[in-house]
């Protein structure tokens, strides 16, 4: 998983950041992006696409990544902004924010699928990057853990929706709760399956 890292390293790039997001598809909650600079020549065992990792293992890897990282940045864009600018632009904005929050400036980016043309950095947008790049996979783990924790917090505020289980994705149980209770303040009302502006909103 370090082919892209090796190629950039051979070109003299030292501080390579992996960038990925979590939460493009859900009906509720924010989209969260992470940017991670790690020493990629000695990868952490077990790092892979966050979607393939059980939650308990993902938490362990998250802590190991934070321990070994040169720098980590996180960007978050909430449901109202997702409605206003669309999910692609929200994802780009979250990724840009994550990169801007790195305490050490990167000299290259490896990104999962989405190019960031407003950032004047050498970058590669890799389709399936969380499966093909160690640094992107590391960023995917950080983004997923941060977002899942946010959704757990939202569950405390809106317990009848089950956010602690489905994390806002459009599962049958979540759609059933939406049909029964309407949308709450963190639902994305421009997404199919979410009641629109004319329906009650739980605040």
pLDDT in tens, 18-62: 999 999 999 999 999 999 999 999 999 999 999 999 999 999 999
Segment 122-151 mean pLDDT: 98
Give yes or no for a contact between 165 and 142, defined as CB atoms under 8 angstroms apart. no
- How much of the chain, in percent, has pLDDT values that exceed 70? 97
Length of the chain counted residue by residue: 203
Instruction: Tell me if residue 144 falls in helix, strand or coil.
Output: helix
Which H or E run includes 129? helix 129-132
pTM recorded for the entire structure: 0.95
Give the pLDDT score at 201. 53
pLDDT at 198 over 50: no
pLDDT in tens, 151-190: 999 999 999 999 999 999 999 999 999 999 999 999 999 9
For domain 3-147, the CATH architecture is: 2-Layer Sandwich (3.30)
Segment 118-123 mean pLDDT: 96
Which H or E run includes 21? strand 16-22
Instruction: Measure the CA angle with vertex 194, ends 172 and 50; round to 5°.
Output: 60
Which pair of tokens denotes residue 73? 């940045």
pLDDT at 95 over 80: yes
Residue 180 has a CB neighbour count (10 Å cut-off) of 9
């Amino acid at each position: 998983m370090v082919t892209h890292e090796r190629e950039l390293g051979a070109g003299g790039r030292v501080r390579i950041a992996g960038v990925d997001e979590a939460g493009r598809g859900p009906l509720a909650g924010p989209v969260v992006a992470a940017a991670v600079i790690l020493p990629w020549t000695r990868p952490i065992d077990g790092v892979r696409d966050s979607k393939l990792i059980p939650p308990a293992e993902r938490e362990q890897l998250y802590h190991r990544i934070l321990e070994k990282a040169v720098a980590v940045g996180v960007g978050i864009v909430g449901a109202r902004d997702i409605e206003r600018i669309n999910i692609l632009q929200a994802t780009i904005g979250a990724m840009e924010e994550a990169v801007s929050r790195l305490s050490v400036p990167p000299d290259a980016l490896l990104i999962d699928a989405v190019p960031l043309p407003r950032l004047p950095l050498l970058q590669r947008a890799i389709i399936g990057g969380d499966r093909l790049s160690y640094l992107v996979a590391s960023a995917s783990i950080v983004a997923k853990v941060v977002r899942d924790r946010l959704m757990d917090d939202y569950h405390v505020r809106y317990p009848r929706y089950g956010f602690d289980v489905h994390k806002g994705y459009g599962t049958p149980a979540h759609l059933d709760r939406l049909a029964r209770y309407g949308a709450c303040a963190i639902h994305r009302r421009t997404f199919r399956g979410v009641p629109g502006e004319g329906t009650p909103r739980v605040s």
